Structure 1
Amino acid sequence: MTFFRLALAAMLMSALPAHGADRTIYLTFDDGPLNGTSNILDVLEAAQVPATLFMVGMHAEASASNKALVRRAKAMPLVTIGNHSYSHAYNPTGISMAIRKAWLPTCSWPMPFWA
């Protein structure tokens, strides 16, 4: 078992709800499927821990192995799949990239956080 799997297993085991405490922990994994998704699914399956995976469409369609990971995750009863956009483009202001590129050279420092 790799260090990553051991660390993930330890994190998941420590995240199990305590008896008598009215607390719930929700595990979410974003931006997959990526290199570590298979390890995450292995640990979730072994520990029988529920989680939600928010996947990026471009990542899901990038290769046959990524498509297989999506199918595997969908088949797991304790795993919920969510959409994390198709391209994961980040544009918090709604300003197009063309406008940003035209505006950026005229900016004074410090730059706004979204530039």
Structure 2
Amino acid sequence: MLTEIGKIIRQRRQQHGITIEQLAEQSNVSISLISRLERGKVDNIKLQSLTAIAETLNLKIADFFRDELLQSPNVVALLDYLSDLPAHQREELAGTLLKLLRLSKS
């Protein structure tokens, strides 16, 4: 599980164009922790540290525990965007996106 979390952190950090050092400073965690996380060399982590890293990367803790197929940066960004909308707007946008996708398959 922590190996996958490390991959998500690396992807998101690179997507934001920040270094390990910058992420560590902004999250108030050690550079070593970020480096070991990204390399899959961490056996456990405090929830407080993981939350700080997630917040710095504009992620939610739940983003680390999504189905592996839903963890790419674009999918996470889309899901986050949809989840931040009011329910009626989310449903309307989801319906529109599905219609567009069905049209593109035709």
TM-score w.r.t. structure 2 length?
0.29
Q: Which fold has the larger relative contact order, with Cα–Cα distance below 8 Å and residues 6 or more apart in sequence?
A: 2
TM-score w.r.t. structure 1 length?
0.28
Q: Which has the higher helix share?
A: 2
Q: Which has the higher strand share?
A: 1
